[in-house]
Amino acid sequence: MEKENVDQLMNLCSRRGIIIPSFKIYGELAGFYDYGPIGLSIKSNIKSLWRKMFVKEMGNLEIESTIIGYDKVYQASGHVKTFTDPILKCVKCGSTYRADKLLEEFFEKQKNYELAKNVGHMSLDELQGLVSKYNITCPKCKGEFSKITAFNLMMKTEVGPTGGTIGYLRPETAQGVFVDFKELYKSYNFRLPIGIAQEGKVFRNEISPRQILIRMREFSQMELEYFFNPEKADELPLINNQKINDEFLSKKIYLLSREDQAKNEDAKKVSLLEALKLRLIPNKIFAYMVYKESRLLEILGIDEDLARFRILMADELPHYSKGNIDLEIKVNGKYEEVAGNAYRSDFDLSNHSKMSNTDMTVLDDNKGVLPHVIEVSFGLDRLFWAVMSNNLYKDEKRGWEVLMLNKVIQPFQYAVYPLQKDNALIDKSIEAQKILEEKGYSVFYKETGSIGKRYAKADEIGIGKCITIDYNTLDDETVTVRDISDATQIRVKLKDLGN
């Protein structure tokens, strides 16, 4: 089987209602997508796996904070001043573009790959110089651009009937965790280290939404903020009263260092222990988070050769970071960030402490400590898209596409089909469905359509096994079980389904 490209994936998502452009009947609005039932099921299963691995297995806690944030929160976090992208506006037709992305595409078409790679690291003045030097004009009308300006990506709103209080739709879930940290620490009698997670919608007023789910204006994040005593950054916590064995440090990952990037070289495979010794990863807690991410990718069925951990260059670092390593996965032949790992130090707690006049220090070993934070932030929609694009295949023998998803994220583990619309077969099919659901499986049931077309649809949406109830079932209580991986079929006893 050959992998399908992203165009075929989008075609499948459209035909099967997996992903739907929002407000489509009104002509759509860029950067917004809805999930149909199948897409939502897969997305929810990815979320459940994240919750299992980063919350439950690690003994962390999860909260839900508000989507609208108070103006002072984002002043303290630095977002009001620094959360910006460079914007170009056409003086003729009014079209707007993100300057660095427009230049990147221009230079890629010119096959000037060195400049295409470097524009993302340039200042506004440097970008403006390139626009002038190469006479860059509006792609739509060839009009001239006004001067590049910094555009804040937060979506602003007003709270209350008089609009006197300024708020923002949150650009990340993290700040809700930070402002609640002290209350949670007191209420739940925490001890450091402790992780507080949050999953939910965030909003960024992207200048140029693109690549379907890669760059959106409304999307979902899964974030973990891990609070620890900075003097104990290499001490891993007890989880369920068990010490974490250092064997995890033998895990090998593809790591792209700053030196490799400067030399335009590929990522090198190194163990987490090597990365620690070379100070490519700042501490053991950070290394453990990278280990958990690599394990998550394995379970999601992402080949290790398609993923890398890239150390951000100094001029790429967010304003709050002492060091970032992005998890990137190849999508349509290009690496895309799906998760960011940031050593936020005490930046957020310190700034919120000053802005709110609230002491954010806590006791650790009877000493006052302002905790440091390591953040693991997944873009759920990007992760979903990376999983889908790397697991859709064209099977020439079958004559249709096959979505080969790991069992834990399949939208349904089983489909149950009566061979024909016959009451006796339908009754047995309902019995089979009940047996499987009582064993905890998610089941898709359909009576209509030829069995071949039903198999094709099951393969396209990633259903693991198809159960067909035929007339032999009425005689010997056996059913046909068809596996998505190779379309092989076997007969098993009805009562043994799901064993």
Whole-angstrom Cα distance, residue 26 to residue 65? 32
Q: What is the CATH number of domain 412-496?
A: 3.40.50.800
- Residues 439-469: tens digit of each pLDDT: 999 999 999 999 999 999 999 999 999 999 9
Whole-angstrom Cα distance, residue 155 to residue 146? 23
- Residues 108-126: tens digit of each pLDDT: 999 999 899 889 889 999 9
pLDDT above 80: residue 129? yes
What is the reported pLDDT for 312?
Answer: 95
pLDDT-based confidence at residue 242 (cuts at 50, 70, 90)? confident
Q: What is the CATH number of domain 2-80+155-389?
A: 3.30.930.10
Mean pLDDT of 329-346: 95
3 state SS of 132: helix
Buried b (16+ CB within 10 A) or exposed e, 48-72: ebbbeebbeebebebeebeeebbee
Average predicted confidence (pLDDT) for the chain: 95
Mean pLDDT of 14-23: 96
Whole-angstrom Cα distance, residue 33 to residue 213? 8
Mean pLDDT of 264-277: 96
- Residues 97-106: tens digit of each pLDDT: 999 999 999 9
CB 97 within 8 A of CB 105: no
Mean pLDDT of 204-230: 94
* Phi then psi dihedrals of residue 46, to 5 deg: -65, -40
- Name the percent of the chain lying above pLDDT 70: 100
CB 479 within 8 A of CB 390: no
Whole-angstrom Cα distance, residue 312 to residue 339? 12
Whole-angstrom Cα distance, residue 75 to residue 78? 5
Quick one: DSSP state of residue 312?
A: P
What is the reported pLDDT for 318?
Answer: 81
Q: What is the dihedral of CA 463, 469, 470, 473, to 10 degrees?
A: 140
- Residues 161-214: tens digit of each pLDDT: 887 899 999 999 999 999 999 999 999 888 899 999 999 999 999 998 988 999
pLDDT above 80: residue 345? yes
pLDDT above 90: residue 320? no
pLDDT above 80: residue 240? no
The amino acid at 192: L
What are the structural domain ranges in the chain? 2-80+155-389, 84-152, 412-496
> For the chain, what percentages of helix, strand and coil (3-state, to nearest 5) are there?
40, 30, 35
What is the reported pLDDT for 417?
Answer: 98
Other beta carbons within 10 Å of 271: 15
pLDDT above 90: residue 319? no
What is the reported pLDDT for 239?
Answer: 80
Whole-angstrom Cα distance, residue 475 to residue 74? 69
pLDDT above 90: residue 413? yes
pLDDT above 90: residue 62? yes
pLDDT above 80: residue 17? yes
Mean pLDDT of 383-412: 96
pTM: 0.93
pLDDT above 90: residue 335? yes
Whole-angstrom Cα distance, residue 69 to residue 80? 12
Give the lowest-confidence range in 139-148, 155-164, 314-323.
Answer: 314-323
| Domain covering 84-152, topology | Herpes Virus-1 (3.30.40)
pLDDT above 80: residue 48? yes
pLDDT above 90: residue 73? yes
What is the reported pLDDT for 117?
Answer: 87
